[in-house]
Amino acid sequence: MKKHLLYLLFLIPGNQLLCQQTVFDLFTFTPPAGWIKTESTGSVTYSITDPTSKNWCQLILCKKLTSTGSIESDFRSEWNDLIVKNYKGTGEPLQSQTEEADGWKICTGSSKWIFNNKNVATVLTTFTGFGIRASIVCNTTNLQYITELEKLLSTLKINPGESNSGVGVPGETINENSGYSNTTSYHFTNTHFDDGWSSTVMDNWVETKKGRITIKIHYPNKQADEYNSVLKTEDLNAWNLLVAPYYSQVINFNWLSIQSYESISFMEADAVEKSTGMMKHIVLFKKHYSSGHGRYLEFITDTRAELENDFGPYHSTSYGWENMADMQFRNKFAVASNDLNGTWSANDYASLTYYYVSNGATAGTTATSNSHEFTFYPGNKYSSEYAGASGQVGNMKFSTQSYKGESTVNDWSITLTNRFQGASEKFEASFEAIKGGRILIMTDRLGTRLSLVKK
């Protein structure tokens, strides 16, 4: 396994690089020709399967993280996070001697595990230098594919960039943008919760992970969320739009949804995950809250038993699903001052119509309407406008309030000065990620919750 390390000692200069160069994060390289490319959380994967022998190989390039300052410590962390947590049965790595080249320290280790009754060899190569670390993983059922890893490494060039700013630091409560795929420029794109769960903003969902369990919190999707009076039709439409494109060889599909006042959508199957080539157990779940804010949650585990161990077994009642349903609230990210610049607004409306029992004629309608608008300016200044109307339609009472002052933002809170009677007011604050943007959640001391969107 040490042979391919010789290529790393050179980190081939530009005049030896081949023509079909690809850039991913800090890596510049020539990918293997004819292999399938897929991108997932923090990595890009190139894979191939021999149709005759069914042997396969994956080459996975992982995005950079902050270094611990030690190649030994970095390698152990990467081995635990990338190998042990993802591939059952991998033991202690057969580790090579650490090499150095162009400011990088390089360590490689290998082990084996079993998948579908086949031996799988895993090789991890970790690079440490310039305050960061990054790794390449090779998984294969036939060692002949190691030559493809060697070819890729022979074209590899590593650019550490200007600094390690913006790289996630394991163990912090909140991480800044760690380079994972996302479509926004908001400051915080990672949250590490105290109970071990970790959420990351992605293009089409928030990816929440703990141990070997991954949950995709899908963003609101007009097509997938479209109401249908037949729950099964609605559910299968969501499955085909949100889940099916990312899997192949689907087996054991079951539709187990429950129709009620707040219906439960529950579909499960076993399938091969295209991004990894691994067989997974998938559950697409949604609690249809009466408020309409339920989200589709995609639970991804190696087996059904793993899911049931954390969230309990399936049960055919519409209540008792809190453990699964509450995972949608892991779509929660801290707020930075610069994220707020601009105007954010929320509107609420409710009405109630009365009828005479004697003849069914209309006895009048009452309604309540509220509008909140917050404008945040550079230099920590703000202004806000509130407008409300309530009462019988045609004879409603109106009220307005305007405030101006200074704002102080502290990750999970926003404090505004010069509010009611000149006092300061503190709001709990967080962002919910949506496709291409955020919803600002502000909750006051009385528990009033505002969901504000940016104009």
180-184, 201-205, 378-382, range with the lowest pLDDT: 180-184
45 pLDDT more than 80: yes
Residue 108: count other Cβ atoms within 10 Å of its Cβ.
25
Q: DSSP string spanning 57-106?
A: EEEEEE--EE--S-HHHHHHHHIIIIIITTSTT--S-EEPPPEEETTEEE
d(CA 117, CA 141): 11
156-165, 166-175, 336-345, range with the lowest pLDDT: 166-175
Q: Which pLDDT does position 21 carry in this prediction?
A: 77
Same fold, 5-158 and 337-454: no
18 pLDDT more than 60: no
268 pLDDT more than 80: yes
Domain limits, the chain: 5-158, 174-325, 337-454
Task: Report whether 277 contacts 47 (CB < 8 A).
Answer: yes
- Three-class DSSP category at 151: helix
Q: Which pLDDT does position 85 carry in this prediction?
A: 85
CA angle 141, 144, 145 (to 5 degrees): 70
Task: State phi, psi for 411 to the nearest 5 degrees.
Answer: 60, -70
17 pLDDT more than 80: no
Handedness of CA 107, 190, 246, 297 (dihedral sign): positive
d(CA 305, CA 348): 43
Tokens of 347: 């509107």
d(CA 101, CA 71): 13
Element (H, E) at 364: strand 362-377
Query: What confidence tens digit (pLDDT) does each residue in 65-77 have?
Result: 888 888 888 898 8
Residue 294: count other Cβ atoms within 10 Å of its Cβ.
20
Query: What confidence tens digit (pLDDT) does each residue in 412-423 have?
Result: 999 999 999 999
d(CA 176, CA 333): 10
Average confidence (pLDDT) over 405-431: 95
Domain 337-454, architecture per CATH: Beta Barrel (2.40)
- Three-class DSSP category at 375: strand
The third-level CATH classification (topology) of the domain covering 5-158 is: Protein Transport Mog1p; Chain A (3.40.1000)
25 pLDDT more than 70: yes
